[in-house]
Amino acid sequence: MLIRSLTLATLLAIAGPLFAADGDSPLDMDKGRARPLIVIAPSTVDPTWVSLKKSLDEPANRKGFTDRNMVLYTVLNLMGQRDGKDLGPQDTAALIRSLKLGAGAKTKVILVGKDGEKKLEQSDAIKLEEIFSAVDQLPAAEKEFTATVAAPVAEAEPAAKGAKAGKSSKPAKSAKPPEMPDD
């Protein structure tokens, strides 16, 4: 009995962190819905971040950003944000872990596709137009991925619309109970 308990405790101690690290990234909620653009910079006055922020503040570029189903993640001074809303320290650490970045003090700009794969990774200064062209050149396979993720949701909506508003649907009664076999 003691051996079984120790074996189980050892397995949980080893496997627990692996299961916890599997799906805890904030990028998982955007998979199939949006293209995350992640900017990781050592400070808020980093020239790459400042130039991208200026570009995104222009109305035409902001419209292009939203038309391409993109969301902006920033990690500045180890403080994470998603579209201007703060992420907790654990979510920020999970975001960095999920990108599998090596150690470095350089600014990184990473574009992740709707399929969750990195499409662009740049350590130098990059212009917003280059990011937009990378998104526009993404293969049709990513568009198919988006369609397959959205299809189950689209199929569920007509069933919900078929029900009358205000009334709950009751399960149908079976004609007769199943017969018990004779032993």
Q: Is residue 3 part of a domain?
A: no
Domain that holds residue 91: 34-141
Q: Is residue 65 part of a domain?
A: yes
Report the CATH number that the domain containing residue 43 is assigned in CATH: 3.40.30.10
Measured torsion, CA atoms of residues 175, 180, 181, 183, in degrees rounded to the nearest 10: -170
Name the 3-class secondary structure at 41.
strand
**Number of independent structural domains in the chain:** 1
Q: Is residue 147 part of a domain?
A: no
Res 161: pLDDT: 46
Res 102: pLDDT: 66
Would the pTM of this model clear 0.85, i.e. be above it?
A: no
Res 103: pLDDT: 65
Q: Is residue 150 part of a domain?
A: no
Q: Is 49 exposed, middle or buried (0-12, 13-18, 19+ CB in 10 A)?
A: buried
Token pair 């600014």 is found at 107
Token pair 């499409």 is found at 119
Res 173: pLDDT: 61
Show the low-confidence residues of the chain (pLDDT under 50).
18-22, 146-154, 156-165
